[in-house]
Amino acid sequence: MSTPRKKSKTLFEESLFAIRDKYISDTDTKINTPLLKLRQSNTDKTLKLIDYENTVVQDLDKNFTSLKASYTYVHDIKVELEALLKKVERIEAVVEEIDHFTITGK
Q: For residue range 4-37, what is the model confidence (pLDDT) as tens digits?
A: 555 546 676 677 666 666 655 544 444 444 556 6
Q: Is the pLDDT of residue 95 over 70?
A: yes
pLDDT given for residue 89 in this prediction:
93
Q: How far is CA 19 from the centre of its chain?
A: 13
pLDDT given for residue 92 in this prediction:
92
Q: For residue range 54-89, what is the model confidence (pLDDT) as tens digits?
A: 666 666 666 666 777 777 888 888 889 999 999 999
> CB–CB of 49/58 below 8 Å?
yes
- Our CA angle for 80, 81, 82, nearest 5°, is 90
Handedness of CA 63, 69, 73, 79 (dihedral sign): positive
Domain ranges of the chain: 11-104
Kindly tell me the burial class for residue 86, based on how many C-beta atoms sit within 10 Å of its own C-beta (0-12, 13-18, 19 or more).
exposed
Q: What average pLDDT does this structure show over 90-97?
A: 90
